[in-house]
Amino acid sequence: MNATQPVLELRDLRTEFRIGGQWHAAVRGVSLTVHPNETLAIVGESGSGKSVTALSVLRLLPASGARHGAGSVWLDGMEISNIPEKAMANLRGDAIAMIFQEPMTSLNPTMTIGDQIAEAIRQHRRVSWREARALALDALNEVKIPAAAKRFDDYPHQFSGGMRQRVMIAMALACKPKVLLADEPTTALDVTIQAQILTLLDDLKTAHGMAVVFITHNLGVVAQIADRVAVMYAGEVVELADAGALFARPTHPYTEALLRAMPRVDIDTSHLDPIPGRVPPLTSMPAGCAYASRCALREDRCLETHPMLEALPGSEHQVRCIVRAEHLRETA
């Protein structure tokens, strides 16, 4: 466990969406911490609440259809859940930054990549355009854009997917944030470029001492980059552990199912075991365990009792499963 204070902390965070005139929770009581120079991976299938959690931290969800239902977000010891929007805008891209999944939807096609990064720097630093452009070039060199000085005035469409993602990373890191949120930044890339981007992010994390929250559905990526892992399902954290402990001893049935469904080089693809059913919709969340309808360990009590996230005996490994937690207590 990192002895330092967490730089980002979520305490019972709840985010709600307005559907059919009523509010329904998409993120339900999520509590997480991330320390300097640590990568926390948030993993789960589509609809589990991973991206909504990250967007809730940055308050980027549309105010007309989403709201902060409860809980709090703390950045470097300061609560930012309800600070004025102007103050929050000053933090975005400065103390806390985000890399999105598809860079072509995040980069402005009418501006050169150099000017876009320089503009981001000038948003948070009182520097001239000349100084901002010099800092932007430094950022492009840091993310290893080949011939960065020559490509500084190129437009996004002139870059490959992997190079555009490097530009997005340069923009996110230009102001040296304390926290980096990365929302599936390698999903659209082939495996070779994906490996390069993951190595780059890990190197930059170490160089700057950043806290990184890495959102993904790919457990292979998690194994490569994460220090700790939070498995999310239906808006809740269902398992939280060090990466090594999670892969060595997956405890929640959902985590086990994700691992069985993951392609592996040592197993023929005909042996993949898909998870039956789907994540329950926000409008009909069950009273008991949200995973019960898909779970092979389901008991009658699972349908009625909502499980709590609790630590396994003698461990910081946490799991949200009545059956598994009880069994491990009995055998401890």
| Other residues' Cβ atoms within 10 Å of the Cβ of residue 158 | 12
- Tens digits of per-residue pLDDT, 25-78? 999 999 999 999 999 999 999 889 999 999 999 999 998 899 999 999 999 999
Average pLDDT, rounded, for the chain: 91
Residues in the chain: 332
pLDDT exceeding 70 applies to what percent of the chain? 95
pTM of the model: 0.92
Q: Looking at the predicted structure, is the pLDDT value of residue 292 above 80? A: yes
- Tens digits of per-residue pLDDT, 169-190? 999 999 999 999 999 888 777 8
Q: Looking at the predicted structure, is the pLDDT value of residue 1 above 50? A: no
- Tens digits of per-residue pLDDT, 247-280? 999 999 999 999 988 766 555 656 677 888 899 9
Q: Looking at the predicted structure, is the pLDDT value of residue 3 above 60? A: no
Q: Where are the domains of the chain?
A: 8-95+177-278, 105-175
Kindly state the average pLDDT of the residues 283-295.
Answer: 94
**Bigger pLDDT: 141 vs 3:** 141
pLDDT for the residue 194: 85
pLDDT band at 103 (very low <50, low <70, confident <90, very high): low
pLDDT for the residue 265: 58
- Tens digits of per-residue pLDDT, 200-230? 999 999 999 999 999 998 888 898 899 999 9
pLDDT for the residue 231: 97
pLDDT band at 140 (very low <50, low <70, confident <90, very high): very high
Q: Looking at the predicted structure, is the pLDDT value of residue 332 above 70? A: no
Q: Looking at the predicted structure, is the pLDDT value of residue 238 above 60? A: yes
Kindly state the average pLDDT of the residues 73-95.
Answer: 94
The residues, any chain, with a CB within 8 Å of residue 70's CB and separated by 6 or more, are: 12, 13, 14, 29
CATH for 8-95+177-278?
A: 3.40.50.300
pLDDT for the residue 331: 79
